[in-house]
Amino acid sequence: MSFPFVKGHGTGNDFVVLPDLDGSVHGELQPSVVAALCDRRRGIGGDGVLRVVRGRFDGGAEWFMDYRNADGSTSQMCGNGVRVFVRYLLEAGLVEAAGAAVPLPIGTADGVKLVSFCDDGEISVDMGPASVGGSTVVSVNGQRYEAVNVDVGNPHAVAFVDDLAEVGELAASPYFCGVEFADGVNIEFVQRLEGGALAMRVFERGVGETESCGTGACAVVAAAAAAAAGHEGAGHSTYTVRVRGGDLTVTIAADGHVHLKGPAVLVAEGNWRG
Amino acid sequence: MSFPFVKGHGTGNDFVVLPDLDGSVHGELQPSVVAALCDRRRGIGGDGVLRVVRGRFDGGAEWFMDYRNADGSTSQMCGNGVRVFVRYLLEAGLVEAAGAAVPLPIGTADGVKLVSFCDDGEISVDMGPASVGGSTVVSVNGQRYEAVNVDVGNPHAVAFVDDLAEVGELAASPYFCGVEFADGVNIEFVQRLEGGALAMRVFERGVGETESCGTGACAVVAAAAAAAAGHEGAGHSTYTVRVRGGDLTVTIAADGHVHLKGPAVLVAEGNWRG
């Protein structure tokens, strides 16, 4: 087995991009193959795989992002991944940034996402509306945290803390969430910084603690905006979200859609042999 | 900046191989570039870099392995690395395995190493003599361990323990060694298994705990053989050394040279852009 690949990251959330324009990769991409590709010592290494699918999809999308977690499981959406995905399309000459007055539609398992190329070189994604509501108790290292439930296409539990360091090591096992999330949940811990920015740590289901999580940043801002407005989903505002891997900018637009903006970098391309 | 690379590993000890047959990579390979290449999220990822140098070296060697640790520092020798290095030469068609009655000489900063291609597909390296002598106290997680000092081109401290799990987490900071090693030391913890095999965990200086360390396996066997023989460096014997990433076979030959045999696999090749 052998695949051409591209390696890229957005704020340290890294991906193996697998171009699959002829569909030949699809049948080979068993969970064990995804895990082998994402193995950081015996493979390429990454938080997930982004298979690049060309076709005709809902919403006029020519491109579909087939996202898999590092353990081979599927996930609806990945906010950092979609930027890396689009950076690949751009650098491969498959789409054009110049004159892109109309956002580029990208198909995902969570529906079509509209992507814009920003003047500063970053990429912005309309992640759709976030739904804030309900709460969960998260238990970590013997401490219990009240967390706000946010759905951004995938489920999040957002816990505001005074100091991110107090949470301690985010190992694989010590979590407990309420029964609300049968399929697991991504957990964000958030500290409000002076000046209004938000610092965040994230534990992604199926992955572990990562340097960044795009949908997590959106969830955090949705929760912060809802708290600021005093009621669910309200507020029209822009926040900087500081993750371990860098800064993301999240805007809640007037229509309630959450826009995630940040860097996306391709660092290598080559051939993998399994 | 852009380099062609190959990614490979030996028992999970992984490397970025940089072919540099025209010498153009050499001037670019600052420590910061090595660190960027070895970054597992923003680069290719690896425990170190193996620059492939062609020329005329001591001992009739046509090839020189310029080894750098992941943090950009240099190191004299890397036992798993030299196998991956030679696997690259073989797969690139730069050397031939067939009819290799005479071992292939490879230049390293620790002198020429003789490499043999084994019938089972593994690669064996004559690591030269090991020097066993003296002891050090290693302190980890509040426990103190008496360790045997072994030099295999680079310095090792080998501590025999009843159970590898008892050592606990091998984090970056909790070490203390005696003043014998001004440049630091690699530390191995070894558990004797039934049947005579040795299980080993290793903390490599400049890297952290790794899945495997070739010179570490040699040091461990040298220490075990010396203990079995009741005096330094004696014994002619073969041991299986079980590291986290797989099995290595170490033989102490009649002339006292230590031969390290194990797998070496190339998993990808491509271009990196810094």
Residue A233 has pLDDT above 50, yes or no: no
Domain containing B138 — which CATH number?
A: 3.10.310.10
Residue A9 has its nearest CB partner, among B41, B268, B269, at B41
Residue type, B142: G
**A70-96 average pLDDT score:** 92
Alpha helices in chain B (DSSP H): 31-38, 79-91, 214-229
Do A135 and A122 belong together in one domain?
no
Q: Which residue of B has its CA nearest to A48?
A: B41
Q: Is the dihedral of CA A206, A209, A212, A218 positive or negative?
A: positive
CA distance A170 to A119: 36
Distance CA B225, CA B236 (A): 8
Residues in A closer than 8 angstroms to B45, CB to CB, are 40-41, 44-45
Residue B32 has pLDDT above 80, yes or no: yes
ipTM more than 0.90?
no
With a cut of 80, say whether residue A253 has pLDDT above it: yes
> Could you give the percent of chain A with pLDDT greater than 90?
69
**Shared domain check, A134 and A124:** no
Residues A21 and A76 in one domain: yes
Considering the entire predicted model, what is its pTM? Answer: 0.88
Q: For residue A142, what pLDDT is reported? A: 83
Pair (A38, A136) in one structural domain: no
Under the banding of pLDDT at 50, 70 and 90, the label for residue B102 is confident
Look at residue B78 in the predicted model and tell me its pLDDT. 84
Q: What is the pLDDT of residues A104-123, one digit of tens each?
A: 999 999 899 999 999 999 99
Mark whether A122 and A133 lie in a shared domain.
no
pLDDT for the residue B83: 97
At residue B58 the predicted structure's pLDDT band, cuts being 50, 70 and 90, is confident
Is the pLDDT at A236 greater than 90, yes or no?
no
Residue A175 pLDDT exceeds 70 = no
Q: Name the residue facing A42 among B5, B12, B42 (closest C-beta).
A: B12
Beta bridge partners of A49: A16, A68
Nearest by CB to B41, which of A12, A43, A266?
A12
In this model, does residue B172 exceed pLDDT 70? Answer: no
Please identify which of the residues A38, A118, A177, A213 carries the catalytic annotation. Answer: A213
- Comparing CA positions, the residue from A107, A106, A78, A85 lying closest to residue A207 is A78
Same domain, B34 and B110: yes
CB A14 within 8 A of CB A8: yes
- Cα separation of A6 and B192, whole Å? 43
A152 and A250, same domain (yes or no): yes
Contacts of A272 in chain B (CB under 8 A): 267-268
pLDDT digits (tens, 9 = 90+) for B224-258: 999 987 654 455 589 999 999 999 999 999 999 99
**B136 and B76 in a common domain:** no
Q: What are the tens digits of pLDDT across the range B104-138?
A: 999 999 899 999 999 999 999 999 999 999 998 88
pLDDT exceeding 70 applies to what percent of chain A? 92
Rg of chain B taking only CA atoms, in angstroms: 18
Residues A252-264: what's their mean pLDDT? 95
Q: Total domain count for chain B?
A: 2
Structure tokens at B63: 């090839």
* A221: nearest Cα among A250, A179, A184: A250
Domain containing residue B37 = 2-128+263-273
Burial B152-188 (b: 16+ CB within 10 A, else e): bbbbbbbbbbeeeeebeebeeeebebeeebeeebbbb
B209 and B141 housed in the same domain:
yes
Is the domain of B251 the same as that of B159?
Answer: yes
> Which residues of chain A have a CB within 8 Å of the CB of B92?
none
Query: Would you state the pLDDT for residue A98?
Result: 67
Three-state helix/strand/coil letters over A212-264 = CCHHHHHHHHHHHHHHHHCCCCCCCEEEEEEECCEEEEEEECCCCEEEEEECC
- A140 and A121, same structural domain? no
Contact flag A42-B265 (C-beta cutoff 8 Å): yes
Catalytic residue check, B213:
yes
From the candidates A33, A40, A41, A209, which should be mutated to test the interface with B, based on the most B CB atoms within 10 A? A41
CB A81 within 8 A of CB A214: yes
Is the model's pLDDT at A244 over the cut of 60?
Answer: yes
Phi–psi pair at A59, nearest 5 degrees? 75, 15
Same domain, B98 and B183: no
* Spatial separation of the C-alpha atoms in residues A235 and A226, rounded to whole Å: 7
**Is A78 one of the annotated active-site residues of the chain?**
yes
